Amino acid sequence: MKLIHAALVAGLLTSPAALSQSIKIGELNSYKVFPAFLEPYRKGMELALEEINASGGVLGRKLELVIRDDGGTPGDAVRAAEELISRERVNVLMGTFASHVGLAVANLANQRRILFLASEPLTDKIVWENGNRYTFRLRPSTYMQVAMLIPEAAKLSRKRWAIVYPNYEYGQSATASFKQLLSAAQPGVEFVAEQAPALGKIDAGAVVQALADAKPDAIFSSLFAADLQKFVREGNTRGLFRGRTVFNLLAGEPEYLDPLKDETPEGWWVTGYPWSEIATPEHRKFLDAYRKRWKDYPRQGSVVGYSAVYAVAEALRKARTTETEKLVEALKGLQMSSPFGPIAWRALDHQSTMGAYVGQLAKKDGKGTMVNWRYADGARFQPPDEEIRRLRKD
């Protein structure tokens, strides 16, 4: 029976009529601007797509990805999205990386009334202040990831904190959330220095020196990519991290951790993805499939791309249609499984409860890895509902 079914599907897939009826996901992202994250992301998406189509597609139709580069700017992204909507006639929009691009596309989705599954942008605003009916976001937000680190930070009861962050939306809101949450958890905490270098342009020597001069007990950083690498090397050389605990958002993600190699600073608290150590069945299945397909290990981006495609597929299955309004309703409260375990899509603010792994950095055979890690479920790191309702204005 199954064989016949598979053959039928296979037959359907190859006939041109069925191809024209495929359900189209319009994916746009800054592949050329943030390749380190987005190459694995693309591989994750393609893996999910192949799995879904191999098992018969969705609603009896094949799922198809139409991928566009958004050039990393809101203007080009909006044009690419318009092209996907009006020329390719995609059923769903997906993707984006940087906050401002994500917000611009979310705004367009609201105007054009099309579902937009923002897979990667971390900005809180996309589901809160600028949230709208048609936009849903997969990854844990800046606020959530900061909140995941707060219990450990408060436990240390260090008094003097220094902060360093890339000077744009992500770094600014990470810093604001950190100050607010830590002050609440640990009254009397002091923030003694703040450094906000431009993204990708940190003058690491001077920044490290200035932080050291403030004599902090602990440091909170939201640097990533090249900025993080420069900061770590200068900090190691100049002894900034000696006797100080450092918290760094995202630094445990393989994209940003792997390049540090033997410079990996031990003992830092980070959010990330210890891919080699997670032994849950969901993750094992994903890991094996990914390695088999790509002969490479997954990065954080792989999980995001993979789960985003599955989220669209699950929403379609639940809605039993490609109609946008029904899809929106279907996504609200949708429960699904992901490599990180079961996640749900909150009806309140359209945020998924996908979490992140919180742990400490360690060095093993000259490479960075995470130890003492645990999974922080995104559902548990949210502000009170009333606050969100007030921010969303809907």
Partner 1 sequence: MSGSAVLLQFLNGLASASSLFLVAAGLSLIFGVTRIVNFAHGSLYMLGMYVAVWCAPILGFWVAVPVAMLAVAGLGLLVEVLLLRRIYRAPELLQLLATFALVLVIRDLALWAWGPEDILGPRAPGLGGAVEIAGRAFPQYDLFLIVLGPVVFVSLHLLLKKTRWGILVRAATEDREMAGALGVNQRWLFTGVFVLGAALAGVGGALAVPREPANLEVDLSVISDAFVVVVVGGLGSIPGAFLAALLIGEVKAFCIALGYSKITLAVEFIVMAVVLVLRPSGLLGRPQAPARVPVGMQSTAGRIPRTGVVALVLLIGFLAALPAFAAGYTLILMTDILVFALFAVSLHFIMGPGGMLSFGHAAYFGLGAYGAGLALLRLELPMELALALGPLLAGAGAVAFGWFCVRLSGVYLAMLTLAFAQITWSVAFQWDALTGGSNGLIGVWPADWLASKPAYYFLTLFFSLTGIVFLWKAVYSPFGYALRAGRDSPLRADAIGIDVRTVQWAAFAIAGTAAGVAGALYAFSKGSISPETLSVPRSVDGLVMVLLGGVQTLTGPAWGAALFTWLEDSASRSIDYWRAALGAVILLLVLAFPQGIAGAAKRWPFSR
Q: What is the rounded distance in angstroms from the CA atom of residue 369 to the CA atom of residue 344?
A: 28
Residue 139 C-beta: closest distance to partner 1, Å: 17
Contact indicator for 273, 375 with CB cutoff of 8 Å:
no
Q: Is 217 in the site for partner 1 (CB under 8 A)?
A: no
**Binding to partner 1 by residue 297, rule CB under 8 A?**
no
Token digits of residue 93: 């929009």
CB 259 within 8 A of CB 229: yes
Residue 183 CA: distances (Å) to CA of 6, 143, 168, 333: 58, 15, 22, 32
Binding partner 1 (rule: CB under 8 A), the pick from 12, 225, 348, 362 is: 225
CA torsion angle 346 352 353 358 (round to 10): -150
CA-to-CA separations, 375 to 47, 77, 171, 353, 380, in angstroms, rounded: 24, 33, 23, 12, 11
Nearest to 302 by CA among 43, 94, 1: 43
| Segment near partner 1 (CB under 8 A); pick from 5-13, 83-91, 177-185, 272-280 | 83-91
**Residue 272 binds partner 1, judged by CB under 8 A:** no
162 belongs to the binding site for partner 1 (CB under 8 A): no
Q: Which DSSP symbol is given to 58? A: B
14 CB neighbour count, 10 Å cutoff = 9
CA torsion sign, 320 to 323 to 324 to 325? negative
Which of the stretches 63-71, 310-318, 327-335, 340-348 binds partner 1 when contact is defined by CB under 8 A? 63-71
Select from 29, 30, 96, 107 the one that contacts partner 1 (CB under 8 A): 107
If one asks whether residue 251 binds partner 1 (CB under 8 A), the answer comes out as no
Tell me whether residue 243 is exposed, middle or buried, using C-beta atoms within 10 angstroms of its C-beta: 0 to 12, 13 to 18, 19 or more.
Answer: exposed
Which CB, 234 or 377, lies closer to partner 1?
A: 234
Q: Which stretch binds partner 1 (CB under 8 A): 43-51, 56-64, 77-85, 271-279?
A: 77-85
The residue within the footprint of partner 1, chosen from 45, 150, 212, 331 (CB under 8 A), is 212
Number of residues lying near partner 1 (CB under 8 A): 64
**Whose Cβ is closer to partner 1: residue 80's or residue 150's?**
80
Name the minimum Å distance from CB 70 to partner 1.
9
Place of tokens 């693309």: 42
Select the span of 51-59, 194-202, 347-355, 384-392 touching partner 1 (CB under 8 A). Answer: 194-202
Q: Which three-class secondary structure state does DSSP give residue 129?
A: coil
- Contacting residue, 3, 4, 14, 87, with partner 1 by CB under 8 A: 87
One residue of 182, 204, 287, 315 binding partner 1 per CB under 8 A: 204
In angstroms, the CA 336 to CA 101 distance is 27
Of 213, 266, 296, 387, the residue at the interface with partner 1 (CB under 8 A) is 213
**Segment interacting with partner 1 (CB under 8 A) among 7-15, 16-24, 144-152, 231-239:** 231-239
- Pair of tokens at residue 232: 């770590």
Q: How many residues does the chain have?
A: 394
The residue written with tokens 């009254």 in the block is 187
**Minimum CB separation from partner 1 for residue 19, in Å?**
19
Q: Is 369 a residue that touches partner 1 (CB under 8 A)?
A: no
- Could you give the string, one character per residue 119-158, with x where binding to partner 1 holds by CB under 8 A and - elsewhere? ----x-x----x----------------------------
Burial 370-392 (b: 16+ CB within 10 A, else e): beebebbbbbebbbeeeebeebb
Q: Which two tokens stand for residue 131?
A: 């949230």
Residue 367 makes contact with partner 1 by CB under 8 A:
no
The full 3-state SS of 178-229, as one line of letters, equals HHHHHHHHCCCCEEEEEECCCCCCCCHHHHHHHHHHCCCCEEEECCCHHHHH
Q: Which of 59, 152, 167, 289 binds partner 1 (CB under 8 A)?
A: 167
Closer residue to partner 1 (CB): 148 or 199: 199
Q: Which amino acid is at 173?
A: S
Cα dihedral sign for 136, 153, 247, 160? Answer: positive
Among 10, 55, 60, 82, binds partner 1 (CB under 8 A): 82
Q: What does the binding site for partner 1 look like in residue numbers (CB under 8 A)? A: 32, 35-36, 39, 68-69, 71, 73-76, 78-80, 82-83, 86-87, 99-100, 103-104, 107-108, 111, 123, 125, 130, 167-169, 172, 193-198, 200-201, 203-207, 209-210, 212-213, 225-226, 229-230, 233-234, 237-239, 255, 258-261, 263
